[in-house]
Each structure stands twice: as structure tokens, then as C-alpha cells.
Amino acid sequence: MKRDFKLPDVGEGLTEAEIVRWHVAVGDTVKVNQIIVEIETAKAVVELPSPFEGEVAAILAAEGETVDVGRVIITVDDATEEALTESLVPEEPQKREPVLVGYGVKQGPSKRRARKSPAAPEAVPVSNGSPQRVAVLAKPPVRKLARDLGVDLADVAPSGPNGSITRDDVLAAQVAPVVPLVVEEQEVIPVRGVRKATAAAMVASAFTAPHVTEFLQIDVTETMNAVRRLREQPDFAGVKVSPLLLVAKALVTAMKRHPHANSTWTDEAILIKKSVNLGIAAATERGLIVPNIKDAQALSLPELARALTDLTDRARAGKCTPAEMSGGTVTITNIGVFGIDAGTPILNPGESAILAFGRIRDMPWVVDGQLAVRKVTTLALSFDHRVIDGELGSYVLRDVGAMLEDPLRMLTWA
């Protein structure tokens, strides 16, 4: 028989979750406790194990879709005929409204059974018109919300139990333009998650590592030609070949030529890293994250291309593991994709250098004494001056530039 799996409340009082990724497809055989899907709730990304054994009959929620708790997301045919007792399956999980922690669930339509017989209306003290203020009932978080929004609770019509005011009541009252408050319009975004982590990392980096940024404008016409020719090679079939790939290769090669730049400052010692773990700053829906490619110096160009594509895809999908986001040694930030020429990037904490790669555009350029139209970009290298002196920083940037002006140098130096 077909058995439905309803999205459970995996936290305490969560009402919905987003389907991140299905691990099974229709027709697959699943076992009890086999991971079938990853979901993201307000609290965490979690994997859900199958409660049933059998064949997947239907998948009823798409990746990326936000689903209410209690909705059937998958049906499994367990190949049995007899009707199983319904009590084994939580009948209506949406009825559960556990509130061990937090504000509790949103007030939905009441699912209570109706009271028997219309009981005689209880004597409710009716105000005879005089503006008598009675004590308003509202939980402390609701009161705070009202205060924050400038809503007077006395003006709010209660809809909660025992005439109490709910969050929704306050929000509704706020929308009603009873008294146009003269406040500056602004959207309040709580600082948390990736934004909070980014802020902490940036402050820590900017105020501990003395940054220096150097700029170099270069002619990347040959790099663009190389990119075009690489795309035609069968080794690169199915992977993205972009100028970023050659910038990455050039930076990794420069790090190998100048190992002192591939290092971390501690108060006791400078740690020179043997591996070049190449970080790629990625703008994702969740915010800025910097996953890195481990041992990038050991990868061939097609391998590096594949690693880059894979890493950026997974970063955008929010799938990078904490291990991938720690232990980087140097980073590239591709600001060119935003149409920007140059910037002064801030170091990823724990690293000593970061390269900003600006946009590539046609520019007048002098070649062999003649004015020509060439593909030109600007590189900006920020480095930690505690570890890297101007001389070393300049060598690194000069070498990266030289390799991108003449990609054959990558062969020479790699």
C-alpha cells in the first residue's frame, strides 16, 4: 500500500521548511532510515530519513519549494496489501503546536472541535461607551513588538485566547494607517547567519591585519585567446572555462613561486602553508561565502576548472561544507562580474593575500608603439603587511599579471 510521509516539525514549533535536495527519485527503492531529502528550516539544514521501506511512488514537493509542516512530501509503496492501522502514522502533525521554545506557532484557523449546544452567552461586561481602559492581555514579546512598532495595545482588537492580543493583531494594527507616524521609512533586517559571520570576519580582519593594496592594469588579450582555445579542447568538455580559471591558475602558480605569501600570521610565528587552498569569494542568496579548493597547486588545469565549477555551483546552492569554508590560504574575489574595475579587498581572516579581479573591457592600449584596442583588466592585491612586505607583494602581483599577459609563462613557472 502507498504510505505518505508528511513533513514533520523537526525543530520545536517550526511551521514550514524548504526542500533543499532530494536524494531519491520516483521508482527508487528506499529502506527505513535511508536519507531521502535535505530540508532547510529556520533553524538548520537537516536530512530526513525515510520512515518506510519500499518503492518511491511519488515526490510531491519540488526542490526550492517551501512546504508547510504536515504536507505530504513523498509517497512510498511498501508492497503490502493489508491496511495498516492509521495510528502508526501521525494523523495530523499540523495539529501539533509544540512551543517549548520561542514565540510559538502562528495563529491559524482554529482546529478545535466546536462546543456542544450554543451555550448561553456569558455575561461579558459591556462598556457603556465611556472610554474605560481595561487591562490589555498580551505576552511580553508581543508587548515588545508593539512598542517597537509604535502600536498602542489599547487600540488593538484582540483575537487570541481569552481576549489576548497576538503578534498578528499587532501587525494588523500597525498596517492600518490610523495615525500616520512620522518616522523615517526603513526596513529592519536582523543581523544573523552569514551576514553576522561576514561582519565579524571583516571587522576581525580589517582591524588586526594591516592591509596594503596594490594595483596593476594589464592586457589580457592573450588570456582571452587562450580561454577560447581551451574551450575547444576535449579535456574541458562539460566544464566552464572562464578567464577566472586562468587567474586562479596564475595566482596558485605565483604562490608556489613565492611561498612566503602563502602563509598565516600568528603572534608567535609565521606559518608558511605547503598547500595552496584557493578561496573563491562567492555572492550567494545567503550572503558572501568563501569556500576554498584544497591543494589547488596539485590540480591540473582541467581538474582546477572542474573544482572551480563545482565549488561555485555548490556555494550558490548553499551546499558547501564547513570544511570547505575553513583552512583557505589565499583568495580571489571576482568583482569583474559586477562590472567593476578595481577595489581594495579585505583579507579573509587567517590568510595573507587576496586578489581582486576586475572587469575585462576593450581599452586603447599601446602595443609596439602603436595604439591598439586590447582586452584590459585591473588586478588589485591586498596583503597583510605583517607577513608580506611591499617587495614580496609586488612580486606576487607582477607575476600574476605577467602570466595573464602571456599565459605561456604559466607553463614556464608552473
Partner 1 sequence: MTAPTAPPELVQLLTPEGERVEHPDYDIDLTAEEVRSLYRDLVLVRRVDLEAVALQRQGELGLWASLLGQEAAQVGSGRALTDADMAFPTYREHGVAWCRGVDPLHLLGLFRGVNHGGWDPIEHNFHLYTIVIGSQTLHSVGYAMGIQRDGAEAATIVYFGDGATSQGDVNEAFIWASVFNAPVVFFCQNNQWAISEPLEKQSKIPLYKRASGFGFPGIRVDGNDVFACLAVTRAALRNAREGNGPTLVEAFTYRMGAHTTSDDPTRYRVADELEAWKLKDPIERVKAYLFRNQLADQEFFDKVEAEADQLGKDLRARCLALPDPEPAALFEHVYAEPHALLAEEREQFTTYLAGFEGAQ
Report the catalytic residues: 385
User: For partner 1, which is the closer residue by CB, 4 or 214?
Assistant: 4
Shortest reach from residue 278's CB to partner 1, in Å: 18
Contact 50, 32 (CB under 8 A): yes
How far CA 126 is from CA of 130, 135, 164, in Å, comes to 10, 14, 17
Site membership for partner 1, residue 323 (CB under 8 A): yes
Of residues 110, 128, 162, 321, which one binds partner 1 by CB under 8 A?
A: 321
3-class DSSP state of 68: strand
Shortest reach from residue 232's CB to partner 1, in Å: 39
The rounded distance, in Å, linking the Cα atoms of 69 and 97 is 10
Stretch that binds partner 1, among 149-157, 303-311, 320-328, 390-398 (CB under 8 A): 320-328
Site membership for partner 1, residue 51 (CB under 8 A): yes
Q: Read off φ and ψ for residue 400, nearest 5 degrees.
A: -60, -45
Does an H or E element contain 40, and which?
strand 35-40
The rounded distance, in Å, linking the Cα atoms of 351 and 278 is 10
Report the 10 Å Cβ neighbour count for 306. Answer: 17
Contacts 24+ apart (CB under 8 A), 28-35: 28/55, 28/56, 29/54, 29/55, 29/56, 30/54, 30/55, 30/56, 30/76
User: For partner 1, which is the closer residue by CB, 131 or 322?
Assistant: 322
Site membership for partner 1, residue 120 (CB under 8 A): no
**DSSP label at 12?**
S
Shortest reach from residue 90's CB to partner 1, in Å: 6
Site membership for partner 1, residue 8 (CB under 8 A): yes
Shortest reach from residue 106's CB to partner 1, in Å: 18
Contact 272, 255 (CB under 8 A): no
How far CA 43 is from CA of 9, 46, 141, in Å, comes to 11, 9, 19
Of residues 1, 26, 62, 101, which one binds partner 1 by CB under 8 A?
A: 101
Stretch that binds partner 1, among 41-49, 284-292, 301-309, 378-386 (CB under 8 A): 41-49
Site membership for partner 1, residue 44 (CB under 8 A): yes
Of residues 3, 9, 30, 332, which one binds partner 1 by CB under 8 A?
A: 9
Shortest reach from residue 88's CB to partner 1, in Å: 5
Shortest reach from residue 294's CB to partner 1, in Å: 12
Stretch that binds partner 1, among 159-167, 256-264, 307-315, 317-325 (CB under 8 A): 317-325
| Contacting positions for partner 1 (CB under 8 A) | 5-12, 32-33, 43-51, 87-88, 90, 93, 96, 98, 100-101, 112-116, 193, 321-323, 326-327
